[in-house]
């Protein structure tokens, strides 16, 4: 088999060398750090968020995290590094709506990387009518009934007789006694006169 001309072999060698040279810097560029996961996750629907957590494939530096509700910026705590994670506290409860987390960090090789994470905070459920406590009917206090004493016919008659007897004046008793004494004296006097005759 005929061998390739010398200049062809030299050209192929040069092309291979150039390819290897170009591939060497391309390998680190493809190995930039990236966001592995987040809480809340992308397009998640949550009841609320107290802490935003970003987890990268390796340690990062100079983190910056911004939370937006439409065009309104929500105040956050200072981002804190925890190994490969970046944590940011959310000081106030989030109202329902569609939010976006915008983040930016510097990867281990010195290249800045950034991204956005949209998520939704769901509206709080309204209380059902059955859950509303109903007031129990107020019991009306009944005043105690005092029984009325019943007066019988015999008791009424006795009371009337006692009232009649107690109503006689004292001078009538004295006058009556005097009349009795006078009658007795007259009777004795009359009797003696009869005996003497």
Instruction: Please provide the average confidence, as pLDDT, over all residues in the chain.
Output: 75
Checking if the pLDDT of 154 tops 90, the result is no
Helix (H) or strand (E) run with residue 27 in it: helix 6-30
89 found inside a domain: yes
For residue 89, what are its two tokens? 């506290």
Tokens of 120: 């939704």
Q: What is the pLDDT of residue 184?
A: 72
**Total structural domains in the chain?**
1
* Range among 145-154, 160-169, 171-180 rated most confident: 171-180
CATH number for the domain that contains residue 60:
2.60.40.1220
Q: Is residue 27 part of a domain?
A: no
Around Cβ 68, how many Cβ atoms within 10 Å?
15
Structural domain of 77: 35-121
More confident residue, 137 or 99: 99
What pLDDT score was predicted for residue 197? 53
Is residue 51 in a domain?
Answer: yes
Does residue 28 have a pLDDT over 60?
no
pLDDT of residue 64: 96
Q: Tell me how crowded residue 36 is: count the other CB atoms within 10 A of its CB.
A: 12
Residue 148 — very low, low, confident or very high, per pLDDT cuts 50/70/90? low
Sheet containing strand 72-74, strands side by side: 44-46, 112-121, 97-106, 61-69, 72-74
**What does DSSP say about strands 80-82 and 72-74: parallel, antiparallel, or unpaired?**
unpaired
From the list 23, 84, 32, the residue with the least C-alpha distance to 55 is: 84
Q: Which pLDDT value is given to residue 58?
A: 94
Compare 195 and 79 and report the one with higher pLDDT: 79
176 within some domain: no
pTM: 0.51
Quick one: pLDDT at residue 178?
A: 81
**Closest C-alpha to 116, from 48, 58, 64, 194:** 64
Structural domain contains residue 134? no
At 146 the pLDDT is: 64
Residue 48 lies in a domain: yes
Residues 103-123 pLDDT 10s: 999 998 899 999 999 999 998
pLDDT score recorded for residue 20: 43
Establish if 70 belongs to a structural domain.
yes
- Integer CA distances (angstroms), 87 to 17, 150, 167, 179, in order: 46, 89, 108, 129
Residue 131 maps to a domain: no
């Amino acid at each position: 088999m005929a061998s390739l001309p010398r200049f062809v072999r030299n050209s192929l060698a040069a092309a291979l060398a150039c390819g290897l040279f170009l591939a060497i810097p391309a390998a680190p560029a493809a190995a930039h750090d990236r966001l592995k996961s987040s809480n809340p996750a992308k397009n998640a629907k949550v009841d609320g968020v107290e802490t935003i957590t970003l987890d990268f494939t390796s340690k990062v530096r100079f983190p910056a995290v911004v939370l937006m509700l439409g065009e309104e910026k929500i105040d956050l705590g200072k981002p804190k590094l925890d190994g490969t994670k970046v944590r940011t506290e959310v000081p106030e409860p989030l109202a329902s709506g569609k939010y976006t987390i915008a983040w930016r960090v510097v990867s281990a090789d010195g290249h800045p990387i950034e991204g956005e994470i949209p998520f939704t905070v769901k509206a709080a459920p309204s209380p059902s009518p059955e859950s509303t406590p109903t007031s129990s009917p107020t019991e009306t206090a009944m005043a105690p009934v005092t029984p009325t004493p019943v007066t019988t016919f015999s008791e009424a008659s006795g009371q009337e007789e006692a009232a009649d007897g107690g109503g006689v004046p004292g001078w009538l008793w004295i006058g009556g006694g005097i009349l009795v004494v006078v009658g007795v004296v007259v009777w004795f006097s009359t009797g003696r006169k009869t005996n003497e005759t």
